[in-house]
Amino acid sequence: MSALADDWTLCWKFYKHGVRIASQDVRVLRRAERTLRRWHERECGDEYGCIDYGKDGKPVWLSAETGESTPIRDLRKGALKRVAEVCARYHLHYYVQGDPRGPALWIGTVPLDSASYASKGFSLYV
């Protein structure tokens, strides 16, 4: 599917849950979900290395070959900020699920936590 088709499919998903949301805000949420999912995958690592956190709590890339750590930009922080802004605008709640094997972002009209995100919220998978 194209990005536009994905956006409209998600708009319909929001509508089925009683939320009218602008397609540009759906796109922001969809892109943030992809960023968070990729971030969680890189935290788990691959043959090249993984994302780790330094003593100051800032993210670093830990090379699998050399063991060297290099500071990287915190894409997760920016994605979470954009999600919080959109959710605040529509009085929505969100939950970030850190397991890279499933959707990273869940949205709900009621507060979500680790025990209720799948039953009370909906994912942004199309």
Residue-number span of the structural domain to which 95 is assigned: 3-42+73-123
C-alpha span between 91 and 43 (Å, rounded): 30
CA 29/CA 84 separation, integer angstroms? 10
The count of structural domains within the chain is 1
Q: Summarize pLDDT for 2-22 with one digit per residue, the tens.
A: 888 888 999 999 999 999 999
Q: Measured between alpha carbons, how far is residue 105 from residues 5, 19, 72, 115 in Å?
A: 19, 17, 22, 14
Domain contains 67? no
Place of tokens 């990287």: 72
pLDDT tens per residue across span 59-114: 999 999 999 999 999 999 999 999 999 999 999 999 999 999 899 999 999 999 99
The answer as to whether 50 is a domain residue is no
Global confidence as pTM: 0.91
